[in-house]
Amino acid sequence: MTTKIAHARKLCHTLGLFGTLVVGASSAVAQQTPGTSFVENFDKLDRSVWYVSDGWNNGAHQNCTWSKNQVNVDGGVLHLSFTDGQSKDRKYLCGEIQTKKRYGFGTYEARMKAATGSGLNSAFFTYIGPSDKKDHDEIDFEVLGKNVAEVQVNQYIKAKGGNEKLVPVGSKADDGFNDYAFVWEPGRLRYYLNGKLVQDVTDPSKIPTNQQKIFFSLWGSDTMPGWMGKFSYTQPTTLDIERVAYTAPGDKCQFPESIACTLN
C-alpha cells in the first residue's frame, strides 16, 4: 500500500470513529485485554467476537459503502461481497469484519479465496490506529484485482509503510483457496503462503509492536488504477474465508495444518 493510501486509511479510521465505536462502551475494557488462541471455522458469525462494518466507508479512495448485508456465512464459509447498490454517495456495497479484541505476538492464519475484478482489494490484515487511541500499526496480505496471481505483503509502524513485497501465489488467488499466514514475534515477522516462507523481516524498526485487531475486507476503488488496477465492475463477487486462527506464543497449534505446528 502506498503512503497516500496509508494516510487515507489512518484518516478514515479517525474520521470513521463512529463506525468502530458503535461496538459500545461495554467492549472497551475487553479490547484492552489481549485475545487468546482460537480457531474460527465460520459455522456461524459470532457477533460477540466479530464487529461487522456498516454504513460508512474508509474515505474518498473507496467507492463502496460497508454494508452488513454483504457479510454472511453459509456452509462453513464466510462471504464478503462486492455488489452494486446505492448507499449515500457510493454506487457500490462491500463487506468487512474485524475482531472486537486485540491480539499481540503470535501466529495468524487464514484460508481464503480472493474476489474477482480489477480495482478490487481482498484483504486479510491486522490493524490498530487513532480510532483506538493508538499509533497506526498494520500487517497485511492484500490480493489486488489487477493481478490475482500475486499477493502483496506489507506492514506499517506508526503509520510508516514502504515495506511492500509482491509474492507469486502459484495460481490465481480467485480460482481456489490458499493459506495465508504470518508469525509475529519481537524482532521478527515472517510471512507464509501455502506453507512456504515468502518474506522474513528482522529489522525491528520495520516490525509493529502494538496489539491489533484482525480484519477481513473486500473493497473497491476507481481512483487508484496504478495500485489496484482500473476499476471494471461487471458482476457481484465475493471474498470467501474458510478459516482464521490465532495461536499465542507457547500455545499448541490450533488445527493440524497450522504453521504453528511446525515452527521451531
Catalytic residues: 138, 142
Three-state DSSP at 231 gives: coil
Q: Answer whether 148's CB lies under 8 Å from 114's CB.
A: yes
Q: Which residues have C-beta within 8 Å of that of residue 226, sequence separation ≥ 6?
A: none
Q: Give the DSSP H/E element, type plus range, for residue 227.
A: helix 225-228
Q: Could you tell me whether strands 137-144 and 120-128 are parallel, antiparallel, or unpaired per DSSP bridges? A: antiparallel
CA 190 from chain centre, in angstroms, equals: 16
Query: Rounded CA gap, 261 and 264, in Å?
Result: 9
Count other Cβ atoms within 10 Å, centred on residue 83.
17
For CA atoms 231, 232, 238, 240, the dihedral sign is negative
Q: Which residues have C-beta within 8 Å of that of residue 247, sequence separation ≥ 6?
A: 37, 106, 107, 109, 253, 254, 258, 260
Burial class of residue 135 in the structure, from the number of CB atoms within 10 Å of its CB (0-12 exposed, 13-18 middle, 19+ buried): middle
Q: Which phi and psi angles does 37 have, rounded to 5°?
A: -55, 145
Query: Rounded CA gap, 260 and 263, in Å?
Result: 5
Query: Rounded CA gap, 165 and 73, in Å?
Result: 31
Largest CA distance in the chain: 51
